[in-house]
């Protein structure tokens, strides 16, 4: 067998992909609205004063959200406050797909939730239910109309204020 024949598939697999455009979270616009607070167990809850402060910071009707731009993007961000979460709004056209994945930072200490405006799951949203250390969620819009979906980056520790992370948002 020709050794060059074996090398060709390896070169095609290692071809560099075009890098995604990077944006700082501070440069993103505020979304017109954010999702309602999801009714899920707080994985980063702890007893004591920090736990009470975190629970207080998570109360409220909704989570402020940042509007993601059209196309795939890498967002450089930090855990903003004691609540430990940050929401991102994204418009998904009918039949479109999108995946949000924390790719840098203390990945195993994050989770990504996909929710609708009411803070609930809906058809097309896939969550990473088994803790694998890969914080990601996906959405495939089953309908013909554009839908606004929210990805919430949530921390699994109450002491992560200011921790940097990179969220990769890939549209299909």
- pLDDT, tens digit (0-9, with 9 covering 90-100), for 71-109: 999 999 999 998 889 999 999 999 999 999 999 988 888
> H/E element holding 54?
helix 49-57
Half-sphere exposure of 145 (CA within 13 A, CB side): 3
In a domain, 52, yes or no: yes
In a domain, 1, yes or no: no
pLDDT value of residue 9: 43
In a domain, 45, yes or no: yes
Mean pLDDT of 127-141: 82
In a domain, 84, yes or no: yes
pLDDT at residue 163 above 50? Answer: yes
pLDDT value of residue 72: 94
Query: Domains in the chain: how many in total?
Result: 1
For 106, the domain range is 19-171
pLDDT value of residue 7: 46
- Tens-digit pLDDT profile for residues 5-43: 444 443 443 434 678 899 999 999 999 999 999 988 777
Q: What is the CATH number of the domain that holds 113?
A: 2.60.120.380
In a domain, 43, yes or no: yes
Is residue 129 very low, low, confident or very high in pLDDT (cuts 50, 70, 90)? low
What are the structure tokens assigned to 107, written together? 């990945």
Classified as helix, coil or strand, 19 is coil
pLDDT value of residue 17: 66
In a domain, 9, yes or no: no
The residue that leads in pLDDT, 66 or 134, is 66
The residue ranges of DSSP E strands in the chain, in sequence order, are: 22-24, 65-67, 73-78, 85-92, 97-104, 110-115, 125-127, 136-140, 147-155, 164-171
In a domain, 5, yes or no: no
Mean pLDDT of 45-60: 83
In a domain, 37, yes or no: yes
């Amino acid at each position: 067998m020709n050794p060059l024949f074996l090398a060709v598939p390896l070169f095609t697999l290692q071809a560099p992909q075009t890098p995604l455009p990077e944006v700082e979270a501070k440069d993103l616009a505020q979304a017109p609205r954010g999702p309602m607070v999801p009714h899920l167990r707080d994985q980063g809850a702890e007893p004591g004063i920090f736990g009470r402060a975190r629970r207080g910071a998570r109360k409220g009707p909704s989570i402020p959200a940042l509007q993601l731009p059209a196309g795939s993007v890498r967002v450089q961000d930090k855990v903003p406050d004691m609540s430990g979460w940050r929401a991102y709004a994204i418009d998904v056209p009918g039949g479109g797909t999108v995946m949000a994945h924390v790719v840098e930072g203390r990945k195993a200490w994050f989770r990504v939730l996909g929710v609708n405006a009411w803070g609930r799951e809906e058809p097309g949203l896939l969550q990473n239910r088994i803790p694998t250390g890969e914080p990601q969620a996906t959405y495939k819009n089953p309908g013909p109309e554009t839908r606004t979906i929210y990805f919430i980056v949530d921390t699994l520790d109450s002491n992560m204020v200011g921790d940097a992370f990179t969220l990769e948002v890939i549209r299909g």
